[in-house]
Structure 1
Amino acid sequence: MYKSNEKHLVTPITWQECNIGDVVFCKVRGSCFTHKVYSVDPNRGCLIGNNKGHMNGWTKNVYGLAHKL
């Protein structure tokens, strides 16, 4: 589990390469965040949310896969 403001390494990835459970760096409503991937759909992209189960919605704006340091 990641905590807010915890440092991590990000490596490039596209939404098509994401798996459920991945923590990804993505854009949500104009701002970039790390979020957990809860589902992947070939038409809608990735369903992302936080560690507490709140869903932020679907996005195809995924830029990187987060790795703990």
Structure 2
Amino acid sequence: MGALDAVAARVAEGRSVEFRPSGTSMIPLIRSRQLVTVAPVDPTKVQVGDIVLARVAGTTYLHLVSAVDTSRGRVQISNNRGRVNGWTDHTRLYGICVAVDGTPRPRTAGKTRTP
């Protein structure tokens, strides 16, 4: 189980979590080790361009929503460099990134859920 899996488990329990992900796949939206805040998400409200914590094909990512298929209840997850990770259903969307280094992310109001 990776570090993001542990974060996803806490978010799935209904908690907002702050952590510092590492990697360069989300530059310039998120730089390695920047503090991010992820809150539980209402998957039906996710839109293209949102940054979500999701599990795709056995791996948990903090990546972009690149497409939405509402009729099948799923979203496509990609990094910020053009690589598509794949499709995942709403049950595997754990959270939405609501802030990076304390700066609120745009268009996140009304997309979080409370337990």
State the TM bucket, normalised to the shorter chain.
0.7 to 0.9
Give the structure 2 partner of residue 24 of structure 1: 52
Number of aligned residue pairs: give it.
69
Name which one, 1 or 2, has greater alpha-carbon Rg. Answer: 2
Distance (Å, rounded) in 2 between the aligned partners of 1:39 and 1:14: 16
Q: Taking every aligned residue pair, what percent have the same amino acid on both sides?
A: 32
Give the structure 1 partner of residue 22 of structure 2: none
Q: Does 1:37 find its partner at 2:65?
A: yes
Question: Tell me, which stretches of 5 or more residues in structure 2 are unaligned?
Answer: 1-28, 102-115
Deviation at 1:16, TM superposition (A): 1.4
Give the structure 2 partner of residue 58 of structure 1: 87
The DSSP-based 3-state class of the residue aligned with 1:40 is strand
The DSSP-based 3-state class of the residue aligned with 1:2 is coil
Distance (Å, rounded) in 2 between the aligned partners of 1:46 and 1:6: 25
Question: Tell me, which stretches of 5 or more residues in structure 1 are unaligned?
Answer: none
Amino acid at match of 1:36: L
Tell me which protein shows more strand as a share of its residues: 1
Distance (Å, rounded) in 1 between the aligned partners of 2:68 and 2:32: 24
Tell me which protein shows more helix as a share of its residues: 2
